[in-house]
């Protein structure tokens, strides 16, 4: 965690992107595997329900939660495109995909980011320090300076909470405009 300040510029740029997405009526989509899937659900819940303050619900969807879609798609097609298919179905120009992969190489996350960019979504890649296959599809990449999965995941949820708090504060204050942070 002591190395996280090295990511400050990218974290802030990603926060500005999320803020602009919401301000312009877009929604936030999230995808990840394993612990990163849990982070997707956690972050989406913070946006939809609340982080610390009572306020209007913010549109966020964890693509990791619908067991029928996840299992039907994986059975009928392949797991590598399970999130890309959901982005294709519900992603719209002006939305933002937060693609979480500690390695930056998870094929289903990379395909989701590729589909998102083709459909006009912005993409925030939340990864570790490796230069993975996800990075070319990122509008903004936040690369936590570690190769240790547990440390990367701890940083990812901290970053997610930071985004939630700042966006929530801007909604409460009525100042939701990009670039103010």
136-179 residue pLDDT tens: 999 999 999 999 999 999 999 999 999 999 898 877 666 544 33
**Residue 61 contacts residue 98 (beta carbons within 8 Å):** no
Handedness of CA 55, 61, 65, 67 (dihedral sign): positive
CATH of the domain at 23: 3.40.50.10490
Give 10's pLDDT tier (boundaries 50, 70, 90).
very high
Range(s) of the domain holding residue 12: 4-173
- Domain for residue 56, yes or no? yes
- Domain for residue 26, yes or no? yes
**Cross-strand pairs, 30:** 62, 98
- Domain for residue 181, yes or no? no
- Domain for residue 105, yes or no? yes
Residue 180 CA to chain centroid, in angstroms? 21
**Residue 18 contacts residue 167 (beta carbons within 8 Å):** yes
- Domain for residue 180, yes or no? no
DSSP H or E segment with residue 124: strand 122-127
- Domain for residue 178, yes or no? no
41-74 residue pLDDT tens: 999 999 999 999 888 899 999 999 999 999 999 9
């Amino acid at each position: 965690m002591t190395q996280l300040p090295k990511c400050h510029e990218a974290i802030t740029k990603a926060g500005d992107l999320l803020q602009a997405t919401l301000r312009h009526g877009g929604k936030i989509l999230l995808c990840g595997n394993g612990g990163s899937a849990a982070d997707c659900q956690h972050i989406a819940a913070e946006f939809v329900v609340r982080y610390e303050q009572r306020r209007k619900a913010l549109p966020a969807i964890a693509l990791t939660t619908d067991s029928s879609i996840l299992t039907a798609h994986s059975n009928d097609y392949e797991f590598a495109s399970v999130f890309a298919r959901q982005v294709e179905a519900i992603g719209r120009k002006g939305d933002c995909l937060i693609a979480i992969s500690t390695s930056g190489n998870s094929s289903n996350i990379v395909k989701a980011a590729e589909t998102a960019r083709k459909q006009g979504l912005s993409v925030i890649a939340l990864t570790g320090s490796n230069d993975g296959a996800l990075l070319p599809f990122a509008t903004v990449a936040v690369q936590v300076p570690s190769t240790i999965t547990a440390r990367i995941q701890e940083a990812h949820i901290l970053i997610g909470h930071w985004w939630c708090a700042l966006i929530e504060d801007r909604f409460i204050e009525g100042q939701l405009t990009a670039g103010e942070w």
